[in-house]
Amino acid sequence: MLTIPGGRQFRMCDGFSRRSFLQVGGLAMGGLSLPQLLQAESQQGRKSHKAVIMIFLSGGPPHQDMVDLKPAAPAEYRGEFKPIHTNVPGIEICEHLPLLAQRMDRMVTIRSLVGSEGRHAAFQCNTGHAVRQQPPGGWPAFGAAVSKLQGPVNRDTPAFVNLSPKMKSRTWADPGQAGFAGMAHAPFAPNASGSSGLTLQGLTLESLRSRRELAHQLDGLKRLIDQNDVLDGMNTYYQQAFDILTSGKLAEALDVERADPKLRRRYGLGSSEPAGYGDAGPLLNDYLLVARRLVEAGARVVSLAYGRWDWHGRPHGTNFENARDHLPVLDQGVAALLDDLRDRGLDQDVSVIVWGEFGRTPKINPKGGRDHWPRVACALMSGGGMRTGQVIGATNALAEYAVARPVHFEEVFATLYHNMGINTEHVTLPDLGGRPTYLVDHGKYPPLPEVV
């Protein structure tokens, strides 16, 4: 990781340094090496472009305590929360999501998400596919495929950015892999971990525009890691790195301190501390604001991991104690994001999805928790020109399995690709063996007809 210290060090009341947003990660994995920057589209004058913000709820959120409450079920199934009305007649969600309830007309609630492989990992929410039976090179993350197909919007901002921080649970922190799309389309990961030996010592944001100094620093960096074959023949890419770093556009988008303080308060600061018991990402709503800023700067896909939703019960708090902590913060942050996108005229072009790798057990365990439940899960979607204000699918009386309109992960991805202007019925990418490969299971998983 390439770290660029800021001229000032900003800290919240909890001691979190704003410098974490100014780390340029993934140099050796293509984060700075973006050959399609040479193919940047002439969209500089456009107010908006198609984009997706993916919010991964690490660990598996409880569907029956968020958007699919079962108030008539026995106590050991229904839990402690009550449903509340939304601004769409007939749709109810959890009492701890009142702001999203007021915006349900701008959302799609999926109550019947199926097809989870059951892995405690971000992989399926990054790609739509299971880990098993991958093609040569591996499945590319959604953002990597979009980067390969559409390239960057401009020369200053990578097409695919992941804001997930370092976590003890690495599978949750997975930013998404390039797979057979090629390493040049790996995510730009500004919060990923890295070696302190790759720090650009003495270089501040204020001096980024000094191309001569940056060239000297980058030359020194290459000498430090020139044994890495991935960097062979990278001279062409240094100019691309120049374009990104010296323009200041990316650094400005990542620097949340540049945002209006009133807007930051609308999002809610959340917490920079790892959620749960230290193995997951924080509930930091600044990530949501930065995601919008990155889209406005030109990113096509921004993904992030948010909180820790793996609530098995005591001694780490019951499912409901943790939910009372997480849900209001998520509610404020996502509601503010939806409003912010609409206020800036971006909501019809930018799709937002909120989901996790699976659901939770219908029956509460003796420790007050809910365990892993791959049979059914939930998702929230918004924007992107979709028909919103509706619920898709239903589960049985105990939220055990889908009884109406099961929605597969790949259908959701087909919809997101559609929203980006990519037709999954016709578009393919070559795998490492040169074979044309469809982005989703061809002919089986079309975009959701209910929303497109």
- In this structure, are residues 55 and 352 in contact, taking their beta carbons and an 8 Å threshold? yes
- Is the pLDDT score of 5 beyond 70? no
Q: Is 261 in a helix, a strand, or coil?
A: helix
How does residue 133 score in pLDDT terms, banded at 50, 70 and 90? Answer: confident
- What is the spatial distance between Cα 30 and Cα 182, in angstroms, rounded to a whole number? 9
Q: CB of 112 within 8 A of CB of 376? A: yes
Mean pLDDT of 155-159: 91
- Give the Cα separation of 236 and 260 in Å (integer): 37
Q: Which pLDDT does position 373 carry in this prediction?
A: 98
Which residue ranges make up each domain of the chain? 49-182+262-438
Q: Which of 79-88, 180-189, 372-381 has the lowest mean pLDDT?
A: 180-189
State the pLDDT confidence band at 218, using cuts at 50, 70 and 90.
Answer: low
For the stretch 249-258, pLDDT in tens is: 888 999 999 9
Express each pLDDT in 93-132 by its tens digit. Answer: 999 999 999 999 999 999 999 999 999 999 999 999 999 9
Stronger pLDDT, 196 or 224, i.e. the higher one? 224
Q: Which fold would CATH assign to domain 49-182+262-438?
A: Alkaline Phosphatase, subunit A (3.40.720)
Distance CA 289, CA 277 (A): 25
Contact (CB, 8 A) for 339 and 266: yes
Structure tokens at 278: 């230290």
Residue 214 is predicted with a pLDDT of 55
Pair of tokens at residue 139: 């499945």
- 286-297 and 319-343 are packed helices; what angle lies between their axes, rounded to 10 degrees? 30
Mean pLDDT of 50-60: 98
Antiparallel, parallel or unpaired: β 23-24 and 92-94? unpaired
Would you state the pLDDT for residue 125? 98
**What integer pLDDT is reported at residue 276 of this predicted model?**
74
Kindly report the average pLDDT of the chain as a whole number. Answer: 85
Q: What is the DSSP string of 131-199?
A: SSSPPTT-PPPHHHHHHHHH--SBTTB-SEEE-----SSHHHH-----GGG-GGGSPB-TT----GGGB
Burial 341-359 (b: 16+ CB within 10 A, else e): bbeeebbebbbbbbbbbbb
Strands 359-360 and 390-392: unpaired
Q: What is the pTM of this model?
A: 0.85
Average pLDDT over residues 34-46: 41
Peptide bond into 136 cis (omega under 30): no
**Residue 404 in contact with residue 122, Cβ under 8 Å?**
no
CA 14 to each of CA 18, 82, 165, 264, 324: distance values in angstroms, whole numbers, following the listed order: 12, 32, 17, 16, 20
| pLDDT tens per residue, range 222-247 | 555 554 544 443 444 455 566 666 66
In the prediction, which pLDDT does 451 show? 98
Nearest to 228 by CA among 30, 442, 419: 30
Q: Residue 193 pLDDT > 70, yes or no?
A: no
Q: Which has more confidence, 407 or 274?
A: 407
- Look at the block and give the residue holding tokens 């456009």: 46
What six digits make up the tokens of 353? 């999805």
The dihedrals phi and psi of 180, each to the nearest 5 degrees, come to -75, 0
Tell me which range, 7-11, 216-220, 316-320, is most confidently predicted by mean pLDDT: 316-320
Specify whether the CB–CB gap between 289 and 308 falls below 8 A. no
